[in-house]
Structure formats: structure tokens, C-alpha cells
Structure 1
Amino acid sequence: MKIARVVKSDRETFGLVKDGKIATKDDITQSTGIPIPMNIRDFLFDGWFEEILPKIDEIEFKHDLSDFDVLAPIPNPNKIICLAFNYKDHAEEQKLTPPKEPAIVNKPRTALNGTNAEIICPNFVKELDYEIELALIIGKKCKNISEEEAMDVIFGYMILNDVSARDIQAMDKQFTRAKSFDGFAPCGPWITTKDEIDDPQNLKLTTKINGQIRQDSTTSNMFIKIPSIISILSKSITLEPGDIISTGTAAGVALNNPNIPYLKDGDHIEMEIEKIGTIQNKVRFVD
């Protein structure tokens, strides 16, 4: 299934998405008689999602998704963990050796942004970059788990654009502030549950800037694979339901690439991951 968080006329809700239609929380309750909770995290991780699954065929998808603004699927994750240099092709273009264990950056939840929303960047940033990433949504609390157990704790997947201010990154000599600006984590467009993805290590991913392809790769190019990422992180960090782990980006970013320009005001970003969906955002620089 695909689960989206949406807003219309200042009223936020969530629901199931199918073929461009959405069945909202209220529609699900009306169709099934199950009084699902107001909070999407409670719905996803406290047993309500599993309760409605046997009644999926009873649910009527009444509304066009295009009538809603689509928000970041998880509004308040405890953690957003992003991996650096985890794609062989990206590490090679940066003339780096991929790290043997995850090199991570934490983004704050205030960086989250929805599809079709603007990425608003202060004018003092001169080198704004994009990074398409497959993001994992953790569904179960876990600590010290094995690689064999790791896939069981994933609830689903989404796209995350790990937007980065490269000049700030160079000045600070580390990643955190450069990747933590408000709105620097557009994601979605929804959560695709893991049962819909046979092999998350074999998904095509593409970034287009103003219609021109910049990143064209596949998740098979990850250096540290998903089970290892989860297992290694869980040895030092307790992973919790709703946590987001973004698994690194592919070659084709502007950093250290003289043939690729940084983002400018008005640029249109389109990111697509096979079987997951597409997110689109426009860049706006402000004083």
C-alpha cells in the first residue's frame, strides 16, 4: 500500500493512495467501521494499519489526490539519519573510497518538506546541491539486530532529497548545518510499504533539473547494503518506529563537478525512484 499525509483547505489528514485516488482517514473509518486514530504515526505503528488490511477491498477511494497538497509522510520522526558516500559511483566522482561502515549525518525534523513545495534557501548560500536518496521508514523498535533480522524492521520506503549547501559544508568542514536548513529534506510522495518492493537493492533512480537528467543510477550501486546499514546503526543507536534512514546518493551532483551547475532560483527538481514514485520541488532563493 501507499500511505500519504495530505492537506486541503488547511485541514490535514492522511490516507491510502491507489491509482491517483486517495481514501482519507474518515473514508477508511466509514468503509470499515474501524475508528482509526487522528495521528498518522499511531495509525502506522500502533496496530491500526494491520487491522484495516483484511478490509482493504471494502475501502472506497473517493477523492483525486491532485485535489490535496501532499506533505512529508512522517511529520515528527525522532531521527533522520543520512548516509554519506554510500554509492560507488558517487564516491568515485568525488575521488573517495566508500567507507566500510555508515558515515552518517543527522538532519532535524524541521528540514522535512513535501512534494510540490518550494525549497526556500537564503541568498547567502551560493552552492546549493541536490541528492536523490532511497529512504527507509523504520516500523519496529530495535537494538543490536543482525543483518538477517534487519529487513523485518522496515515498514516502507520513500524518496528523500538530501539538499545540501556545499559552500557552508566547506566552510564548516562538516555536514550538519549545510544539510539542516529548514525545508532541506523534501520527501515522499508517500510511504510505499515494503511488501510492494521485491528488491530494494535493484531500483532505478533519476534526478532531473529543469527536465535534464543529472542523476541516473540504481540502488544496486549502494556500497553498504540495506541490511548492513540497519544492523550496524542498531549497534550504537536504538532505532524507533517512524525513524527515517536515508541511504546515500548516486553520481551526478554538482559538488566537485565543473560540468554540472549548482541550483539557482526557479530551478525545477524532479526525482523518481522506480516503484516508489516521484517528488517535485521548485527552488526559491530569498533574502
Structure 2
Amino acid sequence: MKYVHFSYQQQPQIGIALDDVIVPMSALQRFASSSLSLPVIIDDLWSQPELHTQIQHILEQHTTELMNQAIAEQDIEWLPIVPNPGKVICIGLNYRRHAEETNAPIPQTPVVFSKFSDAVAGHLQSVPLPQSSTQVDYEAELCIVIGKQASGVSTEDALDYVFGYCAANDVSARDLQMLTSQWLLGKTCPRFAPIGPYLVTADEVGDPNQLQISAYLNGEQVQHSNTSDMIFDCRYIIHYLSQHMVLHPGDIILTGTPEGVILGQPEQDRVWLTSGDQVTIEIEKLGRLSNTFVSAEQH
């Protein structure tokens, strides 16, 4: 199932994506039993895990009636699919060819850093270019959304703790990132973590390490790989993180980017993002996440 967080007629809400339309969650209420409280916010999805099966049942039984209340995607305002993640955990240098293009050694353990939770942005939201940076870069990434508390989990069981997946762009201000050994400053500027457009449930995605992943800059493909090129796969990432911290429902994990980023090009060939550039992240089964970069004055 593909969940959506959006605003329609200035009312934030959640819904379900079917084809090119959105069925508001509120439309399901008249078909639900009196004892069923349908989710109102995204966080309700993991606080009441049994809801997913019940929602699926209502959709299957009443598809025609629900489609009559659907909203066209072009009529909504997309919001961050997880608007208030408790943690935004990122894995660096996690694709072998990306490590090679940046002349970095292949990591022996996952490189872990973070963004602040208020850096998230939605599909089609603009991303302001920081006034303090002239070297802003894109990074296509698979995002894991945790669905239940995970602490000390095994590699074998790790994917059982996943609610779903979405596309992400780990936007990076390289000049700020490289000021010190700590990357945070260049990673967590406003809206530097676009995620979406859909939150696709784990059962629909299947193996997260067999997905095509690409990025497009102004319509031209600049990254193209497969999540199978990860050095540390999704199972291991969740296992590893859970040995060192408690993962809570609604935490998100950005799992690294493949080769093709601006930083990986010869220095004389690098053309950093400028106002008006549009970056689209496309991941198999997860859709296309697009954001336009604007000057700080336009934001």
C-alpha cells in the first residue's frame, strides 16, 4: 500500500495512493466498523499496526465508491511523508562505486551521521540554497521507515521492524560538510532531507536490496544504480544501529547514495546546484520525488 501525507483545501491529512489519485483516509470511515478508529496522522500507522490490514480490507471491498471521492494528485500539496521523525539517521559511503568515485576507502563498518528532524521536506517543495554555501549537491537514497521499536535485533529479523520505504534526497552542502570531520553542518540545512512522495509498505516492496535507484538533474539522468550495490544492506544497517541505539517507530534511515554525485566528478568539471535546478529521485516501486532548488531570498 502507498500512504500519502498531503494538504487539500488547507487541511493536512493522510491518504492512500491509487493509480494517479489519492483516496483520503477520511473517505474510508463510513465503511469502517464503529470500533475502528482510522488513522488521522502518519504516526497513527505505527502506533496501531493492526490498522494496515483493516484498511486494506476496506479498500478491496469498496474500491469503486472510494474512487468516487478520490483527489487528483495535481490538486494536492505534498507534505513530508514522515513529518516528525524522531531520528533521521544517515549512512555514508555505503555504495561501493560511490566510495570509489570520491577516493574514499571502503568502510569496514557503517559510517553513521544524522540530520535534524526538522530538515525533512515533501515532494515538490522547494529547497533553499544556503547563503553560506556554494557547493550544494544531490544524493539519491533509499529511506527506511521504522515501524516498531528495535533494540539489539538480529540481522535475520531486522526487516521485521520496517514499516515501509520511500525515496529520499540526502542534500549536502559539501563546503560546509568538509569544514570539520563532523558532517552535520553541511547535511541539515532547511529542507535538506526531502522524502516521499509515497510511504510504500514493506510487504509491497519485498527485498529492499533489489531496487533500481536513479537521480535526474533537470531531466538528465546523473545517477543510476541498484540498491544491491550497498556495502551494508538494509538488514545489516538496522541490526547494526540497533546494537548502539534504540530505533523507535517513525525513525527514518537514509541508506547511502550510489555513484554520480557532483562531488565525485573531477574538480574542474563540478557544477554545483543553482537556483532553478530540479532534482528528481526515482526508486523502483517507490515513485519519483522531485524538488526545485531556490535562492534563500526566494524561500
One-letter amino acid matched to 1:275 = K
Contact map agreement 2:129 2:274 (CA 8 A) in 1: no
2:250 maps to which residue?
242
- 1:145-196 per-residue CA deviation (whole Å, 9 max, x = no partner) reads 1011101111110011000100111223321011011100011011011111
2:25 maps to which residue?
25
CA distance in 2: counterparts of 1:38 and 1:201, whole angstroms = 31
Deviation >4 Å, runs of 4+: none
SS at the partner of 1:147?
coil
CA distance in 1: counterparts of 2:30 and 2:128, whole angstroms = 39
1:152 aligns with 2:160: yes
1:205-284 aligned at under 5 Å gives the runs 205-258=213-266, 259-284=269-294
1:52 aligns with 2:55: yes
1:9 aligns with 2:12: no
1:119 maps to which residue?
127
SS at the partner of 2:178?
helix
Q: How far 1:37 sits from its partner (Å)?
A: 3.5
Contact map agreement 1:108 1:180 (CA 8 A) in 2: yes
SS at the partner of 1:255?
helix
| Structure 1 gap segments, 5+ residues each | none
CA distance in 1: counterparts of 2:183 and 2:131, whole angstroms = 19
CA distance in 2: counterparts of 1:273 and 1:43, whole angstroms = 23
1:200 aligns with 2:189: no
Contact map agreement 1:158 1:276 (CA 8 A) in 2: yes
CA distance in 2: counterparts of 1:276 and 1:134, whole angstroms = 9
- 1:84-112 per-residue CA deviation (whole Å, 9 max, x = no partner) reads 00000100101122212211111111100
CA distance in 2: counterparts of 1:156 and 1:197, whole angstroms = 8
SS at the partner of 1:171?
coil
Contact map agreement 2:130 2:189 (CA 8 A) in 1: no
**Count of equivalent residues:** 287
One-letter amino acid matched to 1:109 = S
CA distance in 2: counterparts of 1:4 and 1:37, whole angstroms = 12
| TM-score of the pair, normalised by structure 1 | 0.96
One-letter amino acid matched to 1:20 = D
Q: How far 1:256 sits from its partner (Å)?
A: 4.4
Contact map agreement 2:98 2:264 (CA 8 A) in 1: no
2:199 maps to which residue?
191
Contact map agreement 1:253 1:260 (CA 8 A) in 2: no
